[in-house]
Chains A and B, each alone.
Chain A
């Protein structure tokens, strides 16, 4: 086996044991790693009882997975997964952390954390040494303070000069907030899926990994060196502007030019506030540019800082999604305010997208008189940074209205609809429990197609959008390949290049068809688990494979005023998309498709689904 260790570390926090599980190469060839491997493990070990599996129970594993290109391709993404407490399906949630390379150098391709500890613990892994250690002194700490402690611990207890690759949760994860992220390095987040809550349910505060071995051998080292040099050269040359401005360039590009940025819970998608632009962030908040993770030539990140009431707030970029969701979506149009809220969300371990989505929903309800001061305890207004910051804390600590909003926008809407005795779901901007990323579809100018979110196996995840044709980098099959190989989507150099790279590292001799069939295989298995869902929520494809109602309302402002998503186009594309994937008219994978994709062993799950 090349490019992979063929070993998974399985840790059981209930029994305080661990073991190494060998994985055959044929499994990697079918599912690669990352998202694909996680989906396979979940379907194989828990598929039969998927509908009964509570995502926040000890039975739901937390999976941290690398892929065959981890450590070889520029960038250091890894995938966090498990049964999602947001969608009740499988989400491959990407995050940048040096832990990816450290894990592979420690001799493992993935960690599967099972069970739950009675008291707070953290995992320390150094090659063959696996320790489940007491984390009583870490529990309750927010991001910045936690990292300081981890640095101290790394020196004192593990004799390391600096902390090894790490992942952790903040108070939001500890309190089982469904919009909690798994965090790394102060401001990196694996937000989609809500796996911070899964980690919290296991009383697992952090995972630290140090690998001292060489990475697994490469099939064709000469070709690999040539491709690696080409990748670095192309990324450096091609992304000079991206390196300068990072994704925050979207604050103006998507806010002004493509009219696809969430504003006030997506009531609008256009702004012309020149201050809320890359230049505004650069002049008001940036203290370091660029900022990058290990081995990444693209270096799209920045470090931002602002001071309010004497308190310092530090975060990255913030990247476009944070600026959008903790900025314009909440009526915040000052860079320093968006940085402040982004830093608070990071520190609390909240996913900025999902939390910004549910907060936007709450403010709109307040604006419409559907939530009152009595409900909230204070006034909620667009752009009121003090109130929004307070609400972020209330969500993270599940206080007051925060108890309901901590359930994420879908479940919060269900509960508030019940309490208020009126339909509030129509104000949610989510698909299958997952708030939509900050790229709208109404103007038709941003990258997501009209079925992008409606048909995604990861709901509103903007990094995994459904698209046609399926055999193209515009499709979700491609997103699944990126998340399984595992490559950062910002370092993507096209399918042919990734194919050549993968073959040089693994020696699999894949064709482009093999590669896309791997993507189809992963999507098909994810789709089955998503539709099985349960226990508290299940999805009906006829009703839920759709956009939120807001996307069918005409844009009220900007140069594309009046544009809305065309429902008949959505239905037409949906039918075409299902047919291309070999799914039936409801989007249920066909038996022959499963045979063709080598998913025969999972037909029992399909049977469960069809039998209802």
Chain B
């Protein structure tokens, strides 16, 4: 039986934390997309997901319970 996936995302300095739950594994692209939708203030192409200091690729898939830091790469312009 597949275990439940729960991924929580938080951007430093933002009050918005988003937790996504699913019975399946979740792709980083999907999680970041959802974060952007819910929390605003960030543009998908300008952020990355970081877990334990490692930048996660958009195509990576996470399963189980994870805490993800959203890091903004592009500020300004």
Contact = CB atoms under 8 A, between A and B. Distances in A.
Interface of A: 234, 237-239, 241-242, 246-247, 249-250, 253, 258, 319-321, 437, 439, 444-447, 449, 462-463, 465, 467-469, 472-475, 489-490, 492-497
Interface string B45-77: 110101001110110000000000001111111
Q: Which of B45, B48, B50, B73 has the most CB of A within 10 A?
A: B73
Contacts of B77: 246-247, 249-250, 319-321, 490
Most buried by B among A237, A447, A472: A447
A258 B76 contact: no
Contacts of B54: 496
Interface in B4-24: 11-13
Specify the main secondary structure of chain A where it touches its partner.
loop
26 contacts: A234-B55, A238-B73, A242-B46, A242-B74, A247-B76, A319-B77, A320-B76, A320-B77, A321-B77, A445-B41, A446-B41, A447-B42, A447-B72, A462-B76, A469-B12, A469-B13, A474-B12, A474-B72, A475-B13, A489-B75, A492-B73, A492-B74, A493-B73, A494-B50, A494-B55, A497-B53
Contacts of A437: 76
Contacts of A475: 13
B70 to A, nearest CB: 10
A483 to B, nearest CB: 13
Chain B binding surface SS class? loop
Given A445-B41, A496-B53, A473 B76 contact: no
A444 B42 CA distance: 11
Given A234-B55, A258-B40, A462-B76, A242 B45 contact: yes
Nearest to A253: B43
Given A258-B40, A446-B41, A494 B12 contact: no
A465 B41 CA distance: 15
A474 B13 contact: yes
Given A239-B45, A468-B13, A445 B40 contact: yes
Nearest to A239: B45
A489 B72 contact: no
A447 B71 contact: no
Interface of B: 11-13, 40-43, 45-46, 48, 50, 53-55, 57-58, 71-77
Contact of B71 (A237, A239, A473, A490): A473
Contacts of A490: 73-74, 77
Nearest to A317: B77
Nearest to B42: A447
A497 B55 contact: yes
Contacts of A467: 13
Given A242-B45, A445-B40, A492-B73, 8 more contacts: A238-B58, A242-B74, A258-B40, A447-B41, A472-B12, A473-B72, A493-B73, A496-B50
B76 A439 contact: yes
A449 B76 contact: no
A330 B64 CA distance: 52
A222 B71 CA distance: 27
Contacts of A474: 11-13, 72
B73 A494 contact: yes
A389 B75 CA distance: 29
A444 B73 contact: no
A463 B75 contact: yes
B73 A447 contact: no
A607 to B, nearest CB: 34
Nearest to B75: A447
Contacts of A249: 77
Contacts of A321: 76-77
